[in-house]
Amino acid sequence: MKIAILKETAPGETRCAAIPETVKKFIGLGATVAVERSAGEHALVSDADFEAAGASVGPRAEVLEGAGAILCVLGPDPATLKGAERGALLVGALDPVGRRDAIASYAAAGLEALAMEWMPRISRAQSMDVLSSQSNLAGYKAVIEAADAFGRAFPMMMTAAGTISPAKVFVMGVGVAGLQAIATARRMGAQVSATDVRSATREQILSLGAKPVFVENVAGIEGEGAGGYATEMSPEYQQAQAELVSSHIAKQDIVVTTALIPGKPAPRLISDAQLATMRAGSIVVDLAAEAGGNVEGCVVGERVRRHGVTIIGAANLARSLPADASALFARNLYNFLSAFWDKEAGKPVLADEDELVKGTRLTHGGKIVHERLS
Ligand code: NAD
């Protein structure tokens, strides 16, 4: 089977759906790989690197011709896929809810669209989970951005000219991104505290050497929550959480918020009034900015100053680490397709009843088939 790797065209997109390592592995399975010219340019992979790994490099029309699978980071404009074979797999983060028209066009073109961001959260699929691989990098970069904007140092320093006290970092939302934010801030020498609505995160926070700060008088979500995800909390819980945040936040230098609820706008965790209690020069990084923001006044992709506090509306931070983000994303794609590889057929054979196929398959046989899109 021929596998096509597209060059990303979305503004600001820096990632690539393949790296030489995954090209070699696909070839090892018996596939051929064709990469669109300069697809890896921002991810520090040259066309020559791809050729050295065994891929051919060419313009999109040539790359698409005869391909049985088309790999991308973000879903391409359907108009740019003319010439793709009916029945070809189109695999990437396709944003099914935000791009319904595009998904309908993929169906009409006979493509089998597979949305990587809908990969079920089960242990078998961990190595295929693009949300985790990209969130992990975003959590790291959020702390780096905060450190960059902060007018003070992170670690405690005892110098002849006096002592610098350690920065106090508070992480709200301890999923994949939050855990990496805690670990990064700890490595940089900050004093870290963290909160979540899921009780299972308390142990995780402690194991990273940070202090858990939890609502005690109203029950949160026991254990992990369904599929690892949180739900919207009761008004009673929200009130208790707001009081807790108010008493804690005024003492923090840096706050990183990562709280998301699938299918809903991000929960509001910090109000303008709470922000006003923070010391001037404090930094808030809102990783949920694109989902509506955890912080009042946050603007996606911008740094705004309110009450002397800088709010960084983080937008897709994984993109700012294109080499690593591409490597992890490319491996997620490889791990997914190789798990279904049928040696005799020489291509992935997707079983209709498989949980991973059911979770990700958007279109099949010219129709939209996913229940979440019906
Ligand atoms: P997410 O991005 O959906 O949300 C980020 C965090 O925000 C979560 O921890 C959530 O509980 C928290 N949150 C939501 N509302 C909140 C509120 N009002 N206040 C405070 N915090 C709030 O979550 P995620 O990073 O994708 O991961 C969540 C869980 O799923 C983790 O336990 C992770 O280990 C698990 N997971 C499992 C797999 C797998 O098994 N394949 C893959 C990915 C994640």
At 214, which helix (H) or strand (E)? none
The pair phi, psi for residue 292, each rounded to 5°, is 110, -15
Give me the residue label for tokens 């596939």.
31
Find the Cα–Cα–Cα–Cα dihedral 318, 177, 241, 213, rounded to 10°.
Answer: -140
95 pLDDT higher than 80: yes
Q: Which of 119, 126, 195, 196 to mutate to test the pocket of ligand 1 (most atoms within 8 A of CB)?
A: 196
Using the atom order of ligand 1, give the atom closest to the CA of residue 176: 25
Q: How far apart are CA 305 and CA 309, in angstroms?
A: 5
Q: How far apart are CA 29 and CA 27, in angstroms?
A: 5
Q: What percent of the chain lies above the pLDDT cut of 70?
A: 99
Taking alpha carbons only, the member of 275, 299, 287 closest to residue 172 is 287
Write the residue with the smallest CA distance to atom 14 of ligand 1. 259
Pair 260, 269: CB distance under 8 Å: no
Q: How far apart are CA 277 and CA 287, in angstroms?
A: 21
Give me the residue label for tokens 């949180």.
230
**Does the predicted model carry a pTM greater than 0.85?**
yes
- Active-site residues: which are they? 121, 126, 129, 132, 229
Ligand 1: list residues with CB < 6 Å.
Answer: 121-123, 125-126, 129, 131-132, 135, 172-178, 195-198, 224, 228-230, 233, 258-261, 267, 269
pLDDT tens for each residue of 227-253:
778 888 889 999 999 999 998 999 999
Q: Mean pLDDT across the stretch 256-285?
A: 94
31 pLDDT higher than 90: yes
Give me the count of residues in the chain.
374
Q: Which of 236, 260, 264, 287 to mutate to test the pocket of ligand 1 (most atoms within 8 A of CB)?
A: 260
Q: Mean pLDDT across the stretch 143-151?
A: 97
Higher per-residue confidence, 362 vs 224: 362
Question: Angle CA(15)–CA(17)–CA(19) in degrees, nearest 5?
Answer: 90
374 pLDDT higher than 90: no
Q: How far apart are CA 139 and CA 134, in angstroms?
A: 9
Of the pLDDT bands very low, low, confident and very high (cuts 50, 70, 90), residue 333 is: very high
223 pLDDT higher than 90: no
What is the per-residue burial (b if ≥16 Cβ within 10 Å, else e) of 65-96?
eebbbbbbbbbbebeebeebbeebbbbbbbeb
Q: How far apart are CA 326 and CA 42, in angstroms?
A: 10
Write the residue with the smallest CA distance to atom 35 of ligand 1. 228
Residue 227 confidence (pLDDT): 72
- Edge-to-edge strands of the sheet including 191-195? 211-212, 191-195, 168-172, 254-257, 283-286, 309-313, 303-306
